[in-house]
Amino acid sequence: MVHKDIGGPEPQGSGALDLLRLENISKQFPGTLALDQVNFNVRPGEVHVLFGENGAGKSTMIQIIAGVHRPSGGRILFKGEPVHISSVHHARSLGISAVFQEFSLVPQLSIEDNLFLGSEVRKGPLLDKVGLRRQAREVLDRLGFDLKPRDPVMYLSRAQQQMVEIAKAFRTKPSVMIFDEPTASLTERETTRLFALIEQIKKEGIGIIYITHRMNEIKRIGDRITVLRDGKFVATIGVEDASDTKLVELMTGRVIEQVFPTVHFAPKETLLQIDNMSTFDGSVRDVSINVRAGEIVGLAGLVGSGKSQIGRACFGLEKITGGKISFDGAVVFDARKINKLGPRRMLDRGLYYLPSDRRQEGLVMMQNVRENIALSSLWLRTFSNGVFLRRANERTVVKDLVRRLDLDPPNIERALEHFSGGNQQKVLVGKSLARDVKLFIFDEPTVGVDVGARVHIYNFIKTLCEAGAGVLLISSDLPEILHLPNRAYVMYRGELRAELPKNQINEQAVLGHFFEKQTV
């Protein structure tokens, strides 16, 4: 089942065509072999997508290319010459620039100051402000960015900040540019602009390494795709050969049926009924959906489509301006008349919202597993009487949950920050299992999770559903939406685009509603 060099022609020998070529690159970290003899090359004017699960070695590889880490084995050829990239500075002077996921901008400073941060233009001991502004203008104009060099970065949108970040990488006139999950926090419109820009950079003959774990982006932008798994090279294929099924199989090393369990649906009464809901910030407009007990309902859409806000609104986290929400037979929200939303109240009614950002919103990273799992249930009789906590009970319940979740290591007194992403996610799921829940709202339940944990989480969702709970699965992960739910809704820019029954959930139908162009 191992794929090797399918499709993509690999010129053997000198590799004179390549801007950058990695041969048998390995990286040993204390205790782990992060990269194991990986081969990779970038040609001028192509977008080479680096694809794989979290922990597959993508980041390690680009960090080696960008000069953050030194490889433990293998060699790097830059424009045909062997090089030892010794630092980020060195990489940049060679012409390799990286746009990292985390912005490296100082919000309070202006665009021009950010562009030249660390290499300010000077006249004697003083800053040459005029020269600096002229050069900043030049870079922005060349890229066709409509930005004012003197504007402070903090007033820019995410996409505009991304543009500044790109301009910063571009300033040193690179021949290889690395983009590390650049669309992670961009809206669809911003993403479209970014992709137009990458097309433009391509035309200048720059080789682009593009990291993502989103399959739909690959087809929009990629030329070739290299898949990594567990630090090993799996395959390099051309984009024309990359179907979703194939990519999932390459990425996970399993056939799709092994990743996604078959769920037996037995839909019963309606648990959640949302009628014509609109939110104050306009992220959701006039949306009506429902979820029944015993089914998994998918809620698909791109980042910024408003799908996440629907889940949050039901929990009382978004300001709602219109519409009606019923849960478990009771009206919990009716514009201007009834508002019984709010985390505590909805939890006690049996609705649990699992946020997508487990670090920021889901877990207390410095506390241990026991404290985290019990946190949203402490006021239940299992965990406390009127005055005191029942710590012995707490330990028993949490130990049992940890066994069911297959937490690794199964140490309930260990702080969350010392667990892997997948295991942290299991703890987040565990929080909801510590109490009686009728409806689970999973918001991106497998973001940054390895395939092993992913399989566990899917199986848990299956178990919950078959035990009679309702599940609303909010996800930008296409395979997840295609394979798990019983029904699926697709959101586009705050509006509900489609409701698809099980037999109509397929790639074309879902993707067709994701983007503007296909629907016109």
Partner 1 sequence: MAGAIQTQTGLMETVERTAAQVFVRGGVLPWFLIFSIIIFTLATETFMTGQNFMLVARQATYLVMVSMGQMIVLLTAGLDLSVGVIFAIVSVTSSMVMVDHFNASGKEAVWGSIILGSLAGLGAGLLVGAVNGIGVAVFRVPPFIMTLAMSTIVFGIALTITGGTPIYGMPDQFASVFGYGSALGVPVPIWFTIGFVVIVYVLLAWTRMGRYFYALGGNLKASMLSGISTRYYLFMAYVVCAAITTVAALMLTARLESGESNIGRDYPLNSIAACAIGGVSLFGGTGRLANVVLGAIFIILVQNGMNLMRIGSYQQMIVIGILLVLAVIADNYRQKVLLTLRD
Give the interface with partner 1 as residue ranges (CB under 8 A).
315, 317, 343-344, 347-348, 353, 355, 360-367, 371, 374-376, 378-379, 384, 387-389, 391, 409, 411, 414, 418, 431
Judged by beta carbon, residue 11 or residue 409, the one nearer partner 1 is 409
- Helix (H) / strand (E) element for 138: namely helix 129-143
Q: The tokens of 209 are what?
A: 């390494």
Q: How far is the CB of 381 from partner 1 (least distance, A)?
A: 12
Judged by beta carbon, residue 83 or residue 365, the one nearer partner 1 is 365
With CA atoms as reference, report the closest residue to 186 among 220, 163, 213, 218.
Answer: 163
Judged by beta carbon, residue 14 or residue 32, the one nearer partner 1 is 32
Q: How far is the CB of 389 from partner 1 (least distance, A)?
A: 5
Amino acid in the structure at residue 314: C
Q: How far is the CB of 280 from partner 1 (least distance, A)?
A: 18
Judged by beta carbon, residue 155 or residue 388, the one nearer partner 1 is 388
Q: How far is the CB of 29 from partner 1 (least distance, A)?
A: 13
Judged by beta carbon, residue 130 or residue 389, the one nearer partner 1 is 389
3-state SS, 249-294, equals HHHHCCCHHHHCCCCCCCCCCEEEEEEEEEECCCCCCCEEEEEECC
Q: How far is the CB of 411 from partner 1 (least distance, A)?
A: 8
Q: How far is the CB of 388 from partner 1 (least distance, A)?
A: 5
Return the number of other C-beta atoms located less than 10 Å from residue 486's C-beta. Answer: 22
Q: The tokens of 50 are what?
A: 């680096």
What are the C-alpha distances in Å from 34 to residues 27, 30, 55, 201, 231?
Answer: 5, 10, 8, 31, 5
Q: The tokens of 121 are what?
A: 């233009």
Helix (H, G, I), strand (E, B) or coil at 151: coil
Q: How far is the CB of 398 from partner 1 (least distance, A)?
A: 13
Q: How far is the CB of 384 from partner 1 (least distance, A)?
A: 6
With CA atoms as reference, report the closest residue to 164 among 186, 184, 140.
Answer: 140
Torsion sign across C-alpha atoms 216, 221, 225, 231: negative
d(CA 411, CA 480): 30
Judged by beta carbon, residue 89 or residue 344, the one nearer partner 1 is 344
Q: How far is the CB of 262 from partner 1 (least distance, A)?
A: 32
> Half-sphere exposure of 447 toward its Cβ, with a 13 Å CA cutoff?
19
Q: How far is the CB of 150 from partner 1 (least distance, A)?
A: 30
Q: How far is the CB of 420 from partner 1 (least distance, A)?
A: 12
Judged by beta carbon, residue 312 or residue 324, the one nearer partner 1 is 312
Q: How far is the CB of 488 from partner 1 (least distance, A)?
A: 25
What are the C-alpha distances in Å from 402 to residues 162, 254, 380, 426, 444?
Answer: 40, 26, 19, 9, 21
With CA atoms as reference, report the closest residue to 286 among 489, 496, 499.
Answer: 496
Distance of CA 236 to the CA centre of its chain: 22
- Plot region of 323 (φ>0 → left; ψ -120 to 50 → alpha; else → beta): left
Judged by beta carbon, residue 356 or residue 486, the one nearer partner 1 is 356
Distance of CA 89 to the CA centre of its chain: 29
Please name every residue paired with 237 in a beta bridge, in sequence order, or none if there are none.
225
Amino acid in the structure at residue 146: D
Judged by beta carbon, residue 306 or residue 355, the one nearer partner 1 is 355
Residue position matching structure tokens 């879902």: 510
Q: The tokens of 461 are what?
A: 């969702």
Cα dihedral 297, 302, 307, 308, rounded to 10, equals 110
Judged by beta carbon, residue 294 or residue 355, the one nearer partner 1 is 355
Judged by beta carbon, residue 210 or residue 353, the one nearer partner 1 is 353
- Plot region of 85 (φ>0 → left; ψ -120 to 50 → alpha; else → beta): beta
Judged by beta carbon, residue 71 or residue 362, the one nearer partner 1 is 362
Nearest-5° angle of CA 428, CA 480, CA 3?
Answer: 110
